[in-house]
Amino acid sequence: MLQRRLIDASDGDLAHRRRLSAHLDAMLALCETVECRRARMLAYFGESAEACGNCDTCLSPAQTWDGTIAAQKLLSAVLRLQRERHQRFGAGQVIDILLGRKTPKVIENDHASLTVFGIGTELTESGWRGVVRQLLAQGLLAVMGDYGTLTLTEASGAVLAGQRQLLLRREQTPAKVRSRSSRSAAGPTAELPAEVAGLFEKLRSWRAAAAREQGVPAYVIFHDATLREIAAQQPSSLAELARIGGVGEAKLARYGEQIVELLTATDS
């Protein structure tokens, strides 16, 4: 946000400032991506490429979580501030609203009466800041003016409408996990037991090898949350594996026997 303010305050003309903003957006996207970095870099120059299998995100895929609902909550807060109050605020105020904090600024603006007040307590403040940063990197949020206020973009609508799923880099485990479904979305709240953690790493190694062989990002095969669930449940048959969240019919047919074989070999 500081860099964006410096760009907005620069002496260059509008075209120059737009070029600088585009460079910044590209750098953010490269830093925050959970996909192949080489493919992301080539995309910046207008070239398409398959996953390289050699960069850090290919060799050691970032732990991701389904941030669709979190993104919808944050974007909805920004939208309601704009539509209902004709206001724009920076990330700090939006996060205070999501966390239900009755700060002097929240009280002064009567933001506690917003329907989005307090709907985001499943994440910590640092967790929400990570969501903001990644939405900015993906062009789903934009920063306006000297004060770095947040606003929606044309791409925001698809997320709000539930037409686009967002996988976000998991920086920190959400503060509260109330159910198995939320664990699958955001990751476990504590370290896995040693025997389970070892199996989880074996599953990740298998996934990395499969991803390299197919030339696709690792998350295309299975998300970390699914591998954790497999490691924890240790299904011994295809029928049991099919009950794991994230293992659909197509993936069961393609990878099921390999996974069951890996689990069986580990048990023996």
pLDDT in tens, 28-45: 777 777 778 888 888 778
- Does 240 have pLDDT greater than 70? yes
- Does 135 have pLDDT greater than 80? yes
C-alpha triplet 95, 27, 171: angle, nearest 5°: 45
The CATH number corresponding to 194-267 among 1.10.150.80, 3.40.50.300, 3.40.50.2300, 1.10.10.10 equals: 1.10.150.80
Report percent pLDDT > 90 for the chain: 29
Q: How many residues does the chain have?
A: 268
197-239 confidence digits (pLDDT tens)? 888 889 989 988 888 887 777 777 888 888 888 988 899 899 8
Cα of 154 vs its chain's centroid, Å: 19
Instruction: Give the DSSP letter of residue 113.
Output: G
Average pLDDT score over residue span 120-132: 89
Separation of alpha carbons 133 and 71, rounded Å: 11
CATH top-level class for 64-176? mainly alpha
The residue ranges of every structural domain in the chain are 64-176, 194-267
- Does 26 have pLDDT greater than 80? no
Instruction: Give the DSSP letter of residue 75.
Output: H
